């Protein structure tokens, strides 16, 4: 060790070394904290959100990188004892790959966040943005998984015993691979399906789908499963292979705009022209209508009623549902108040009652 003052002579060398290393850690953490505060103030002054996102992601691994650098410099100035030196070298060989992997994942997450922020999914026509969100989300998860795998491999290869065991197990690697592959077949199948989904895109983030009889919106796409947010705030977790092997409905595959339909059962004597004119007034006055198309037609006729179908368009699934409800309620109020003759009547019962009264009179 270096020459030390007389007041330190009473302390053993191990205690002084530990104190110096602890001081190096404290100094590194304070320096990292001051650096992030300074960089944060600079980032708030810029108009771009890129530096804010990057700093938020890398500030934690950056602090521990500073600690590793400080400890490395301290070890060169204050060498460890012959007993502690091997443990220090082994710990360094394990920690450095871990810090590199952590920093790589942080940079990957920052890049993913920046690209996602540039794709505005709240826009009316958000097909391209939803496509970008889906691909970035899946590919970033796959890349992060590869980084973790390579980091663990680098950490294990620094342990001599692991390298020796790995060499001796090469002969049985084929059999072990088959056993692991058979045991992990469902997980691997979903993982491969996730990679396939990123490029074939049967679903995207924020797509409106119907799966297993449930209507919901795609909230998350993981490597092995998809999370749907249902209309009543429940979450439906679906294996990702279901979207590649089974049929499902995707209401926003090409565009977010949808065509909604409303059906009524009315009396055959209904004045369809008057009903159609009122329907047109209602649709045109509704702000949820996107101005593309509307129509009202008689689509079926039974013994006592006719089926009237109204079609209307809206910008997305939510607006289409609300527009259908608005039109249904407004038309019901109009028929009840101004066209009561359009309500269905039971003519067969009335005719049967009239015949019975005639028989009693005779």
Q: What residue ranges do the domains of the chain occupy?
A: 13-118, 139-148+159-253, 258-342
Q: Are 32 and 63 in contact (CB under 8 A)?
A: yes
Q: How far is CA 217 from CA 163, 203, 227, 234, 252, in A?
A: 48, 10, 9, 11, 10
Please give the class, per CATH, of domain 139-148+159-253: mainly beta
Mean pLDDT on 293-316: 90
Q: Look at phi and psi of residue 272 and say left if phi exceeds 0, alpha if psi is from -120 to 50, else beta.
A: alpha
Q: Which residues have a Cβ under 8 Å from the Cβ of 326 and sit 6 or more positions away?
A: 282, 286, 288
Helix (H, G, I), strand (E, B) or coil at 18: helix
Instruction: Kindly report, residue by residue over 209-246, the tens digit of the pLDDT.
Output: 999 888 888 988 887 889 999 988 899 999 888 888 88
3-state SS, one letter per residue, for 213-275? CEEEEEEEECCCEEEEEECCCCEEEEECCHHHHCCCEECCCCCCCEEEEEEEEECCCCCHHHH
Instruction: Select the more confidently predicted residue: 223 or 185.
Output: 223
Q: Which fold has domain 258-342?
A: Alpha-Beta Plaits (3.30.70)
Instruction: Write down the pLDDT at residue 284.
Output: 93
* CA–CA separation, 157 and 179 (whole Å): 23
pTM assigned to the model: 0.57
Digit-coded pLDDT (tens) for 254-290: 777 788 899 999 998 889 999 999 999 999 999 999 8
Pairing relation of β-strands 208-211 and 214-221?
antiparallel
Residue with the bigger pLDDT between 257 and 65: it is 65
User: Mind spelling out the 3-state secondary structure of 320-360?
Assistant: HHHHHHHHHHHHHHHHHHHCHHHCCCCHHHHHHHHHHHHHH
Burial class of 177 by CB neighbour count within 10 A (0 to 12, 13 to 18, 19+): exposed
Query: What are residue 211's phi and psi, to 5 degrees?
Result: -130, 130
d(CA 304, CA 318): 34
For 68-123, the DSSP string reads HHHHHHHHHHSPPPTTHHHHHHHHHHHHHHHHHHHHHHHHHHHHHHHHHHHS-TTS
The predicted structure's pLDDT at residue 1? 47
């Amino acid at each position: 060790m270096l020459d030390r003052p007389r007041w330190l002579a009473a302390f053993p060398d191990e205690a002084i070394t530990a104190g110096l290393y602890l001081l190096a850690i404290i100094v590194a953490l304070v320096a990292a904290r001051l650096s992030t505060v300074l960089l944060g103030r600079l980032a708030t002054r810029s108009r771009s959100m890129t530096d804010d996102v990057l700093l938020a992601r890398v500030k934690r691994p950056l602090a521990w990188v500073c600690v590793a650098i400080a400890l490395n410099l301290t070890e060169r100035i204050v060498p460890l004892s012959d007993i502690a030196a091997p443990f220090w070298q082994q710990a360094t060989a394990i920690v450095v790959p871990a810090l590199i992997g952590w920093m790589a994942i942080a940079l990957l997450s920052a890049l993913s966040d920046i690209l996602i922020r540039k794709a505005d999914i709240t826009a009316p026509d958000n097909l391209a943005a939803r496509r970008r969100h889906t691909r970035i989300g899946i590919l970033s998860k796959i890349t992060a998984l590869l980084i973790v795998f390579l980091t663990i491999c680098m950490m294990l290869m620094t342990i001599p015993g692991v390298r020796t065991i790995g060499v001796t197990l090469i002969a049985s690697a084929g059999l072990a691979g088959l056993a692991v592959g058979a045991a992990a077949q469902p997980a691997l199948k979903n993982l491969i399906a996730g990679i396939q989904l990123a490029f074939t895109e049967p679903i995207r983030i924020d797509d409106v789908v119907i799966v297993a009889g449930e209507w919901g919106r795609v909230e998350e796409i993981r490597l092995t499963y998809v999370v749907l947010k249902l209309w009543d705030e429940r979450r439906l977790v679906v294996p990702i292979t279901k979207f590649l092997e089974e049929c499902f409905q995707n209401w926003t595959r090409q565009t977010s705009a949808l065509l909604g339909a409303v059906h009524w059962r009315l009396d055959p004597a209904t004045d369809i022209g008057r009903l159609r004119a009122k329907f047109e007034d209602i649709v045109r006055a509704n702000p949820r209508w996107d101005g593309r198309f509307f129509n009202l037609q008689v689509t079926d006729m039974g013994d006592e009623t006719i089926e009237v179908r109204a079609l209307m368009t809206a910008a997305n699934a939510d607006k289409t549902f609300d527009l259908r409800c608005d039109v249904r309620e407004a038309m019901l109020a109009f028929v009840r108040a101004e066209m009561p003759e359009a309500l269905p009547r039971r003519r067969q019962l009335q005719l049967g009652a009239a015949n019975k009264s005639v028989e009693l009179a005779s």
